[in-house]
Amino acid sequence: MQSINPFTGEIVQTYLEYTTVEVDTIVQQVDTAYQGWKRTTFDHRSTLMKYLQAKLVEKRGSLAALIVSEMGKVYREALGEIDKCALACGYYAENGERFLQNEPVQTEARESYISYQPIGTILAVMPWNFPFWQVFRFIAPALMAGNTGLLKHASNVSGCALAIEQLVAEAGFPENVFRTLLIGSAKVEAVIANPLVKAVTLTGSTPAGKAVAAAAGANLKKSVLELGGSDPYIILEDADVVTAARLCVTSRLLNAGQSCIGAKRFIIADRVYDEFKTEFVQIMSASVCGDPFDPNTTFGPLSRKDLRDELHQQVEKSLGMGATLLIGGFIQVGEAAFYPPTVLENVTPGMPAYHEELFGPVAVLYRFKTEEEAIRIANDTVFGLGAGVFTANLQSGKLLAEKGFEAGCVFVNDFVKSDPRLPFGGIKESGYGRELSYLGIREFVNTKTIVVK
């Protein structure tokens, strides 16, 4: 297992995959830790979670640099990722007990109520694109609920995985409450099948989600899946076109376009299509792809060359089927896994750019004449993660957000972002279940009915 710097092409570190015996031993150790951890008070858990928050703040610079070296995110975005992890720790430290307090229910009994209790060790299978944030939005609610955690991270960010394990230990959590498993995908099914593992959460591709869901289902275990997305953004004719274009480009280029909730498809009213296209293409063209540590860099390389090549194949195949290339669409020579800002139009059903997730700095523009047509295009996808609408009429925007889009989250006059205070997740092939907010911490608890006669 290797971490390779996607900017320099150099090997950052090589790791030995854990053996089956090592994995089974760790699972047993984490289950043993659970037997004591589940009996701790919320006050105790909250104190340790705040220590973890402080550790993230203390080490934000070095942790951000580790992110950059392993997956190529620009340094300022990596700093923001660490800050967001700290925010999540603080949020659940402050609110975990309230979210899981007993809920009285009026019945004929002397007393009846709902009690939320931990269920055990949860396996988290996580991707490389937000190597700290994806994990911490699992760690914070899971540990605050009294569960213990196992992390199977993407192999190319093994350094981040081990750093997270170390952070939890340094914050004072009991030994083995949270452990990292350095294993490949082939060993995940056996971990899910282990009787000591009670549930699994995955953030990743739709095929990976289906495989994990099948394994969890075969073992009658709860699963939460946050999968791919092809987020549509509708720009109505009364929108502030300049602002919309700027925010849409920001979302499309965030993390070099490697975001499940990145804006990917832009559906523009016919009346403002040319104006939006001109502004959008101009901003995309002016963006700088370069050294992730350079403050002038807009976005860095893709995380791996094979992923860059797959993206380029999607673009080339779509062009071969009749799509129009406005900018970009080529592979840059060099060691870095760069892909330039790319914009396509005249994309039609049947093309990869129409149906598939474009996990990189590639945008697709569509034109519409009626809102019904816009919603049809927006929802003509197997995905249903995020979406956006830009309009001066907030009531119209809210109505489209509530009744029009088939998505787990919709933003009006802004791009989609995850927030610890709000539930996050999708529908259709973007997955099921919710992370974050009070709903996230309740995904992996026993919702227990108590009745006293």
Q: Which pLDDT belongs to residue 356?
A: 97
Write out pLDDT tens, residues 364-397: 999 999 999 999 999 999 999 999 999 999 999 9
Report whether pLDDT(270) > 90. Answer: yes
Q: Which two tokens stand for residue 24?
A: 């089974």
Active-site amino acid positions = 226, 260
Write out pLDDT tens, residues 305-353: 999 999 999 999 999 999 999 999 999 877 789 999 999 999 999 999 9
Q: Which pLDDT belongs to residue 334?
A: 79
Which architecture, in CATH terms, is 2-227+427-452?
A: 3-Layer(aba) Sandwich (3.40)
Query: Higher confidence at residue 135 or residue 332?
Result: 135
Per CATH, the number for 231-412 is: 3.40.309.10
Q: Any idea where the domains of the chain sit in the sequence?
A: 2-227+427-452, 231-412
Mean of pLDDT values over 206-212? 95
DSSP code per residue over 347-407: --TTSHHHHS---SSEEEEEEESSHHHHHHHHH-SS--SEEEEE-S-HHHHHHIIIII--S
Q: Which pLDDT belongs to residue 335?
A: 78
β-pairing, 111-118 vs 103-104, is antiparallel
Write out pLDDT tens, residues 57-101: 999 999 999 999 999 999 999 999 999 999 999 999 999 999 999
Amino acid 168 reads V
**Virtual torsion, Cα 347, 350, 353, 357, nearest 10 deg:** 140
Please give the model's pTM, rounded to 2 decimal places.
Answer: 0.96
Q: Which two tokens stand for residue 132?
A: 């700290």
